[in-house]
Structure 1
């Protein structure tokens, strides 16, 4: 009777014989199998993708080597998608027999891959269609399993040794062209070295990628630098999106890709030096970030994708730990948490990217602070939005202001609105200006009306209204655009007095920081802030401040304004230059304006800001009597009717 060891030995011998037999059979019939495979792929490309796929010559080299020449893929009625003159590769035979393709070596000479768009026709559209037969819409995807499978297959297709020569990647988007030509790429003994020519309509540069890459152990550390002098300019983005961008170098390190139970961990870091961005929506100047590093730890599970809180972002001297997650368990939830540990205020100021915070340049501060943000949005329950922002400071004090000197609000200063980068006429904010109006000389009705429409909790908040922010975020997410803001009077004051009206990321970030400093360091009183606000905001075409506005519309002083006139002035603040559209051709308020006025009045009644006695004369119509009257389009009466009326009046006079 045979022992267990003897049985195991016999089984091993049988498996070895079968393996050898398979190898011999594969070797004998491999040319026929290769031609059948090419024909199958060619037929699939024709049937499924309406494309022509051809290989002029294909042959084996040794046991696992493969030589191909003139490989061409051309979609019907479109430009060639790719063409490779010569390709030599080898595969891992054992992996191939188990159904997994793993490249050993790869050599490619003279070829190109190109994406072309002409009008609305793209040469790669056929390959973007979804396979409805295999797509299971009702079945949730296991993110960890899916990502690990895709990463493993992708890494297996990266050979351990590779030589590319004159291989180009081309992009032509209706004349916006970019070509990245790998003149040389060598991956030998895990060491990567390249020589790359980049050419667009506006850029011509030589790049180099060098470093370490080991696809089998799932590790890499590579760096992209410019061979020429100057920074690396990112191609195509400038022509396509009007985004000018460049950097000195980028480094990417993948240190670990590991499956741990139901989770997938991806660890490493990314670093970039002297990143420069220029776009009208970002800032009016170049934005420069000297040094940035992201030590990342991505976690993927069956129903979530996240950046773990152990990750670290370093922006110059600013260091914080982000946590971001996308969860698809019972509900679809987006989460973001930021933990900025205690740091010196001055280190924070000097670390702000150049060009993004121009009004802070030259600012100095003492003390320290730390900051925490907690945000969560449930797509199925949007009203349960979580938004918590907490800043703790210790001995924080501004010792010197930059371009935005908030102390100027305490005294007399010259104000000039900046509209579309054009400075408007100067307006003196002070008693020497005859139109300047102290707060106590402004009609109480106007103060109450403006506070109701613009910022009901102005005297109690510290610059921001958390609930308004939450409602704004919910609506913006629902509409997928910035359709609603959460601006307080404090924010409007800072925007008008210190910043431009341009809708950029820079202006909004500066506004938030300046408002926080203004409101939390008691630089001026709330009453003074409101007084300055009333005297500088735009209230019509080339009309600034309530002194000018009351005369422009009603030929009155601000203290003489009636309730109806105050309600009108409060309502037009969002669009003062379009005030004329509030009136019909008889010079009377249109129905929509009357409804807005009634709605505002009812709110003020509910809040106890008005009494029945206040509305005794409310039924009287608004009469525009000042220079604003010339902006309203009145209906021209028939001249014959005017003459008849005149004659009738004359006869009546004679009698």
Structure 2
């Protein structure tokens, strides 16, 4: 009989034999498996993406190493997408057997990846198409599971040890070119270091990425900066979108990626130093944000994606907590919440990005404030939109104005409109101007008409109308463009007197902040604001203020204007230089204009601004009698008088 020890030795030998047989089997099978994977990939590229995937030579080296030579992917009838001369990698054999690829090491020498667009032909177009299985499915996507699956696959393809030499990423968008040439990229012992040369049609630079990267534990902390002096310039966007941007350095930290309880959590932070942006739609000057940081906590569930409210955004001394969410449990819902904890007003003003708020430079303030914004949009119930904006202030007071001195509205000043960057003639806002008209010398009907068409709640709001903002947001979302504004008379006044008509983000943000300061610090009375408004706005070609307008259209003083004339002047404020299109070739209002007159008249009756028995609005049709009449395209009437009797007698002779 065999002893216990002998039995154990026998079992060990059997196990070793099985392992040896398995290893021999794997070694004999792995070459076939590798060729099958290449053939399967090649077939998929041909069938699904109309592309040719070729590997000139592929073989195993050692236990898990793979050598690949001359790997290419060429879309049919388009430029090569990528070509790599030599690649050596190691893979986890056990994962490979179940169809999961996890790289251990990676070496790449001499290759390129390129995206090209020539005319309308893109060499990457086929890879942008949706998967047929995704198109046909009606099941809801589990965002957490989907994102975690993609992240895991990508991180598995990032090796723990990597060495790359001379790998180029090239972009050619109909002549707009950029090349990112990775001279060296090394990841060893979780430390990443690179040497990168960048070249475009407009500049050339050398960059470096350095830091910590651990793809298996889903952690990273890397920095991106310029080897040469000066800031890093962002390639391609300057030529493609006229967006010129640069920065000194970027840091990206990924602290945690974890999926538990059906939710995916991603935590970390990102920071950028001296971000500079220049674009005609943003501002006229360079916009500079000296220091910005985003401490993020991203949450994904089966039916939502969100930035958690514990996240923090900070630029300069301004710090706030954002909450963004996209939910699809029942309806499609978008949410945004912003919370700015109590902070000093002066810290807020001094932290505003340079170039974005030029009219605030030099402004000083005392006191503190905190702010909350709550926005919610239900795609299936757009009229239920939530928009609540709340600012609480403590002893907030402007002690010194910057470039925009709002106090000047209380006295005489020179106003000069700027139209398409051209400074218009000076208009004196004061009694020394013979056309200047005090509010009590303007027909009360003009005040009623303008408030009806432009800002019905002017005397009760504080610069903004929440309901108008809501309706504006709803319409702009529906049309997917800025098709409706929510401008009040206060906003129009600020825009005209202190700003320009340029459609930039800078101008709109300055307008909002200046209006808030004007309306909430009792700087100017509502009556004075309305008086200045009437005396500076454009009412026609080179016609400014109600004094000039009443003479230009009707050869009257503002006090003598009839209701119909006042309503006409109110209606043309949005497009004063197109006033002539309101009239037909006989000099009368067109039917469309007459319908608008009728609508506004009935509206004013409903609001109690007119009474049904008031006959003033039933006066004669609006007829231009001033110089404006010469702008109308009026056909001359045939004044020849035909005497039928004389004609008859002539034929009788």
| TM-score calculated relative to the size of structure 1 | 0.95
Report what 2:404 is aligned to: 404
How far, CA to CA, are the matches of 1:490 and 1:13 in structure 2? 92
Pairing of 1:344-355 with structure 2 (within 5 A): 344-355=344-355
How far, CA to CA, are the matches of 1:11 and 1:349 in structure 2? 79
Query: Equivalent residue of 1:614, what SS?
Result: coil
How far, CA to CA, are the matches of 1:375 and 1:178 in structure 2? 40
The answer to whether the Cα contact below 8 Å between 1:53 and 1:73 also exists between their aligned partners in 2 is yes
Query: Equivalent residue of 2:359, what SS?
Result: helix
Q: Kindly provide the CA deviation profile for residues 381-433 of structure 1, in whole angstroms up to 9, marking residues without a partner as x.
A: 11111111110001100000001000001110110111222211110000000
The answer to whether the Cα contact below 8 Å between 1:538 and 1:544 also exists between their aligned partners in 2 is yes
Superposition deviation, residue 613 in structure 1: 4.3
Pairing of 1:491-640 with structure 2 (within 5 A): 491-616=491-616, 618-637=618-637
How far, CA to CA, are the matches of 1:14 and 1:129 in structure 2? 53
Report what 1:3 is aligned to: none
Matched, 1:358 2:365: no
Report what 2:389 is aligned to: 389
Query: Equivalent residue of 2:133, what SS?
Result: coil
Matched, 1:258 2:249: no
Structure 1: tracts of 5 or more residues without a match: 1-6
> Residues 153, 449 of structure 1: CA spacing in aligned structure 2 closer, same or farther, 3 A cutoff?
same
Pairing of 1:467-486 with structure 2 (within 5 A): 467-486=467-486
The answer to whether the Cα contact below 8 Å between 1:439 and 1:527 also exists between their aligned partners in 2 is yes
> Residues 394, 14 of structure 1: CA spacing in aligned structure 2 closer, same or farther, 3 A cutoff?
farther
Report what 2:232 is aligned to: 232
Query: Equivalent residue of 2:89, what SS?
Result: strand
Query: Equivalent residue of 2:614, what SS?
Result: helix
Matched, 1:307 2:293: no
Report what 2:463 is aligned to: 463
The answer to whether the Cα contact below 8 Å between 1:563 and 1:614 also exists between their aligned partners in 2 is no
How far, CA to CA, are the matches of 2:20 and 2:491 in structure 1? 78
How far, CA to CA, are the matches of 2:14 and 2:492 in structure 1? 83
> Residues 53, 8 of structure 1: CA spacing in aligned structure 2 closer, same or farther, 3 A cutoff?
farther
State the Cα RMSD in Å.
2.0
Superposition deviation, residue 634 in structure 1: 1.5
Report what 2:343 is aligned to: 343
The answer to whether the Cα contact below 8 Å between 2:562 and 2:616 also exists between their aligned partners in 1 is no
Query: Equivalent residue of 1:133, what SS?
Result: helix
Pairing of 1:4-403 with structure 2 (within 5 A): 20-403=20-403
Superposition deviation, residue 615 in structure 1: 2.9
The answer to whether the Cα contact below 8 Å between 1:297 and 1:308 also exists between their aligned partners in 2 is yes
Superposition deviation, residue 10 in structure 1: 11
Q: Kindly provide the CA deviation profile for residues 580-632 of structure 1, in whole angstroms up to 9, marking residues without a partner as x.
A: 11011111111110001000000000011012343346241211111111211
Query: Equivalent residue of 2:337, what SS?
Result: strand
How far, CA to CA, are the matches of 1:297 and 1:595 in structure 2? 55
How far, CA to CA, are the matches of 1:261 and 1:325 in structure 2? 19
Query: Equivalent residue of 1:168, what SS?
Result: strand
The answer to whether the Cα contact below 8 Å between 1:182 and 1:196 also exists between their aligned partners in 2 is yes
> Residues 8, 457 of structure 1: CA spacing in aligned structure 2 closer, same or farther, 3 A cutoff?
farther
Superposition deviation, residue 164 in structure 1: 0.7
The answer to whether the Cα contact below 8 Å between 1:563 and 1:615 also exists between their aligned partners in 2 is no
How far, CA to CA, are the matches of 1:134 and 1:410 in structure 2? 64
Q: Kindly provide the CA deviation profile for residues 48-93 of structure 1, in whole angstroms up to 9, marking residues without a partner as x.
A: 2221111111111111000111111111110001000010000122
The answer to whether the Cα contact below 8 Å between 2:563 and 2:616 also exists between their aligned partners in 1 is no
How far, CA to CA, are the matches of 2:494 and 2:631 in structure 1? 30
